[in-house]
Chain A
Amino acid sequence: MARLVGVFASSHAPLLARAWESVDASRRERISGTFAELGRRFSESRPDIVLVVSPDHWVNFFLSNLPSFCIGVGDAHDGPPEPWLKGVPYRSIAGHTGFALHLARSAFSKGFDPSLSHRLELDHGFIIPLWKMAIHPLPALVPLIVNSIEPPMPSARRCLAWGELIRVAIESYPEDSRIAVLATGGLSHSIGEHDMGRIDEDFDRECIEQFRSGDPEALLAFLDRRMESAGNGAAEVRNWLLAHGAARAQGFELIGYHPYPEWYVGCGFAAWALHGGAKVANAS
């Protein structure tokens, strides 16, 4: 049987790639150290497959067709279309149809209804963390898109329940595979809004503490109360909830927090120590 070997989260601020030099050398060094540590832990988990949870930034989907959850089930996906990511080494990315379809079937059997895509373009949300963590070559990548771009969006509670679903799907996948989960996005940021560039450090720090607390109901209540006011990019904390649910809401460890105004994002990075016990809020 497959097993979950690592759960990670990473911000994916585009300006990490587009305007790396806009941040001074000492802070670049600090965030590079965080990426290196996250990459080290990821590599040490030796995943055969990585499930990457990210939004789609208007690349694959538009208002005419906007799934709340979409699993990439193809055996290959395309690298990032953004012109400013032409230099990254991932152009064609191997998928993993077997596990992706198993996840989809697990979802359908448990009352979840994701859409499926047989070929996705994986934008900066998927790629920047893996690139900055220096993961090359990539393990087979199963993309899971969560709509955190255009309201209305899935509830925080539903996202946490998705995490438990992911855990169950991994542990029931009959192949001898090592599977990691990487959630990307967040923490607070505001893009294209009147407060663009604002980082809500109070939100970020409390969010981190709530993840660390291991109390899912308190975390959900906090996010229901505060996520929307922390900028539209904070909606991506939904992806962290999937990771948290996969880790059964335990073992959160902050690897780094870098609120760099030049990049507009309260950049957060985390890993979860894996335990078996369940401490997940009721799904609804």
Chain B
Amino acid sequence: MRDYWLSKLFFDLQSPEAAARYLAGRDAVLERYPLKPEVRRAVQEEDVATLAPLVNPYLLRFFFLAIGKSEAWFLERIRATGSAAGKEVSGG
């Protein structure tokens, strides 16, 4: 199942201006989204494996690009998730 507000955060951060605001003050931006505590913590910790099952895979990738992670950084972590439970909702 998608986490709506996590998805909304990632969707909004596609804007370069929004991404810049996030990078300048992450917690202030996160305050505006009613994220569950464990989801917010996963965002703060940049925990790809925890976040992957909760959002559309394209938005997941957009987010980590938006916050400046390299492609290699992301690939290493997303590939490590193996056949995680998120496959059920992300296929197709």
Contacts and interface: CB of A to CB of B under 8 A. Distances in A.
Contacts, number: 70
Q: Tell me whether chain A's interface is mostly helix, strand or loop, or mixed.
A: loop
Given A58-B59, A191-B57, A194-B82, A63 B92 contact: no
Contact of B57 (A83, A192, A197, A227): A192
A: contact size bracket: 20 to 34
Given A58-B56, A232-B57, 11 more contacts: A62-B7, A149-B56, A151-B91, A151-B92, A153-B92, A192-B56, A192-B59, A193-B78, A194-B81, A228-B92, A235-B92
11 contacts: A57-B58, A191-B58, A192-B60, A192-B61, A193-B78, A194-B79, A194-B80, A194-B84, A196-B75, A232-B57, A232-B58
Q: Tell me whether chain B's interface is mostly helix, strand or loop, or mixed.
A: helix
Contacts of A113: none
B: contact size bracket: 20 to 34
Given A63-B4, A151-B92, A197 B75 contact: yes
B79 A58 contact: no
Contacts of B92: 148, 151-153, 227-228, 232, 235
A196 B81 CA distance: 11
A58 B8 contact: no
